[in-house]
Amino acid sequence: MASDKKPLYEIIYRQYKIKILSGELPPGTRLPTEMEIAGEFKVSRITVTRALKELELEKFIRRVKGSGSYVTEKEWQSASDSSSSPSGNKNGLNFISLILPFDEEFSTIFLKGIEDEAKKKGFLVTFHNTAEDSDQEVEIIEDVLSKGSRGLIIYPFSETSNLHMYSSLLIRKFPFVLIDRKIPGIETSIVSVDNKKGFEEITSHLIEQGHRKIVFVGSWVNRISSEQERYNGFCQAHINHGVPLMKKNLYSFSDAEAIPDGYRENLDKDIRKIHYLLDILEKYPAEERPTAIAAVNDLIARLIMTTAQERGIAIPSFYSLTGFDNLPYAAHLPIPLTTVEQPAYEIGKQAAEILFRAIDRQENQPVSCTIPPHLIIRESTDCVV
């Protein structure tokens, strides 16, 4: 993940670049004065001047002495304008863009659902991987906007880092649809599986197998809406079955920031966190020892399974283990994983349908689509002996 400590001038430069590219600031618009921008961002005028010079060098603005800074007319503006018209971009190509934070087999399933809908409309689909980097997410969106993308389908990496970008797209009424994760504070079109219901079902499965001490393992439960929804389902299942919840049985990767210096420092960061979790669980008194681990996704479940096996911990006889997503490898792990299917093809298809309706109507009214989950029981869970 990239550091959030960017130069202050670059933050100003990027925010105004997004506003210009998205059409929020059309050609001829006069930018706020340097003093006004300095006050808005709480920086010096020197910092603002540097940001404006960068925008001027790239010909996004022209600076008129004694008058101010104005948005220019450029080729990228023509492409952006054409993206909201039926004729497509200036090259005659109609395309939309899929932007995901990962590049794995799962992403091709999203893409297939989107492409099948795009073909019906005579559109191409470009695919982009942000590599879990919020800065790269901005750069990719800037790039596809400048090239005339008619609409965006985005699986956000961070729900808060690029709020300025998403709000600018909404202000301009540029068509886009989110996958899986909401952006707090703004209402957008989104397609997701029913995360709460899915996790409620998989937790109920464990409870019905006799498990009463179940650990929930997330990555950033308080920062990612889909994880919070899954945790809510975890809690609801306990309440439905009359099983008390225990705070100590909630573990988040963010908690592992307190790992002592030097702890298994030769290992990958995420593997260290799993070892740290298993160390914690081993220290529980016998009467409090968990018998099941409910991971927030298949990726974490796979890390837990492989690390547990390295330590000689048997799955499912010592810990039953569940995931969420039904990634392609879930059925082929050493112990096939009990999980909840996130229907990527259907999510992609529905997202594309919503996007094309917005493009056809030249509007971006928020639409929320929730797809039912499907519990898949495999060999990683078993009854308590």
The pLDDT tens digits of the residues spanning 241-267 come to 999 998 888 888 765 556 777 778 778
Q: Tell me the CA distances in angstroms from 104 to 85, 118, 129, one per residue in order.
A: 33, 21, 10
- Using pLDDT thresholds of 50, 70 and 90, give the confidence band for residue 89: low
Q: Where are the domain boundaries for CATH 3.40.50.2300 in the chain?
A: 76-193+345-371, 195-343
* Amino acid, single-letter form, for residue 352: A
Q: Is residue 193 pLDDT above 90, yes or no?
A: yes
Q: Is residue 150 pLDDT above 90, yes or no?
A: yes
Topology of domain 76-193+345-371 in CATH is Rossmann fold (3.40.50)
Mean pLDDT of 185-194: 93
Least-confidence region, from 15-29, 35-49, 55-69: 15-29
Phi-psi category of residue 42: left, alpha or beta, with phi > 0 → left and psi -120 to 50 → alpha: left
- pLDDT given at position 4: 46
- Using pLDDT thresholds of 50, 70 and 90, give the confidence band for residue 149: very high
- pLDDT given at position 222: 66
- pLDDT given at position 66: 81
Least-confidence region, from 43-47, 200-204, 311-315, 352-356: 43-47
The CATH class for the domain spanning 8-71 reads mainly alpha
- Using pLDDT thresholds of 50, 70 and 90, give the confidence band for residue 178: very high
Q: Is residue 86 pLDDT above 60, yes or no?
A: no
pLDDT digits (tens, 9 = 90+) for 121-131: 999 999 988 88
- pLDDT given at position 203: 98
Q: Where are the domain boundaries for CATH 1.10.10.10 in the chain?
A: 8-71
195-343 CATH choice from 3.40.366.10, 3.40.50.2300, 3.90.550.10, 3.90.1330.10 = 3.40.50.2300
- pLDDT given at position 165: 85
- Using pLDDT thresholds of 50, 70 and 90, give the confidence band for residue 225: confident
Mean pLDDT of 41-64: 90
